[in-house]
């Protein structure tokens, strides 16, 4: 019974509070202020439908070939005179028996040198005349001893005597090393041997 009474009292109090709030809101007139009209603004974003533009690539048309091919271009080449080699004038001394050639001589010995009778030079190279001796007009000779191998080449050169001393020695040794001799035959086979040769240095007058 008490529960029912308390519930009823709570309901009456709640209704009284609602009525009091309504009375305060209505300003004592017992009704709410009415708004005649309301304006509502609605923003709607419209998406534009844009179709992508498709570009088509086409190859350009080739021009028609010419009826007649164009003539080849003419090339002009500048003409330049060929350079002339300078001519050097040098007074070189000539060695007797070699005619001043300074090149190889094929044949037997004769002039410009002397030695054993059975020594037959096949290739002789003229010695280079020493420049200082040529300028001073000096002449002379060199006596050489050397070995002729089985192939006819020259090795083991020794200067035995020279006049004037040491002026023509080096030129004579360098020249004799380039000579070729006929090798000595023993029972039909070539053998090495020692030989002596004199090389003369003379200026042509």
Q: 11: which DSSP letter?
A: H
**124 part of a folded domain:** yes
Query: Degrees (nearest 5) of the Cα angle 167, 169, 172?
Result: 120
**81 part of a folded domain:** no
- What is the pTM (predicted TM-score) of this model? 0.46
**155 part of a folded domain:** yes
**112 part of a folded domain:** yes
With 0-12 / 13-18 / 19 or more C-beta atoms within 10 angstroms meaning exposed / middle / buried, residue 179 is: buried
Which range has highest mean pLDDT (53-57, 60-64, 98-102)? Answer: 60-64
**55 part of a folded domain:** no
Tell me how many domains the chain contains. 2
Sheet holding 180-181, edge to edge: 104-106, 121-125, 180-181
69 or 179, which is more confident: 179
Binned at pLDDT 50, 70 and 90, residue 84 comes out as low
Average pLDDT, the chain: 75
Inform me whether the pLDDT recorded for 144 exceeds 80.
yes
Tokens 């190279």 belong to which residue? 125
Least confident stretch, 51-65, 84-98, 153-167: 84-98
**130 part of a folded domain:** yes
Give me the pLDDT at residue 187, please. Answer: 94
Domain that holds residue 146: 104-201
Which range has highest mean pLDDT (87-101, 118-132, 151-165)? Answer: 151-165
Mean pLDDT, rounded, for 166-175: 96
Distance CA 63, CA 15 (A): 101
> What separation in angstroms does the CA of 43 have from each of 47, 49, 118, 168?
13, 19, 135, 124
Residues 108 and 191 in one domain: yes
Tokens 């009823």 belong to which residue? 8
Inform me whether the pLDDT recorded for 81 exceeds 70.
no
Binned at pLDDT 50, 70 and 90, residue 77 comes out as very low
Mean pLDDT, rounded, for 12-21: 83
**53 part of a folded domain:** no
**56 part of a folded domain:** no
CB-based contact 144:196 (threshold 8 Å): yes
Residues 108 and 194 in one domain: yes
Mean pLDDT, rounded, for 131-155: 95
92-105 as b/e: b if 16+ CB within 10 A = ebbbebbeeeeeeb
């Amino acid at each position: 019974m008490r529960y029912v009474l308390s519930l009823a009292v709570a309901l009456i109090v709640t209704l009284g509070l609602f009525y009091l709030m309504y009375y305060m809101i209505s300003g004592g007139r017992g009704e709410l202020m009415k708004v005649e009209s309301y304006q509502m603004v609605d923003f709607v974003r419209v998406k534009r439908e844009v179709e992508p533009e498709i570009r088509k690539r086409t190859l350009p048309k080739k021009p028609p070939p010419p009826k007649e091919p164009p003539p080849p271009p003419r090339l002009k080449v500048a003409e330049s005179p060929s350079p002339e080699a300078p001519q050097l004038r040098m007074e070189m001394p000539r060695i007797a028996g070699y005619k001043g050639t300074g090149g190889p001589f094929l044949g037997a010995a004769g002039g410009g040198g002397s030695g054993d009778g059975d020594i037959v030079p096949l290739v002789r190279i003229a010695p280079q005349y020493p420049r200082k001796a040529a300028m001073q007009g000096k002449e002379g000779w060199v006596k050489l001893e050397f070995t002729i191998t089985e192939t006819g080449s020259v090795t083991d050169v020794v200067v035995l005597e020279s006049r004037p001393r040491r002026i023509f020695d080096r030129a004579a040794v360098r020249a004799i090393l380039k000579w070729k001799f006929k090798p000595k035959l023993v029972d039909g086979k070539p053998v090495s041997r020692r030989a002596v040769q004199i090389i003369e240095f003379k200026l042509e007058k």
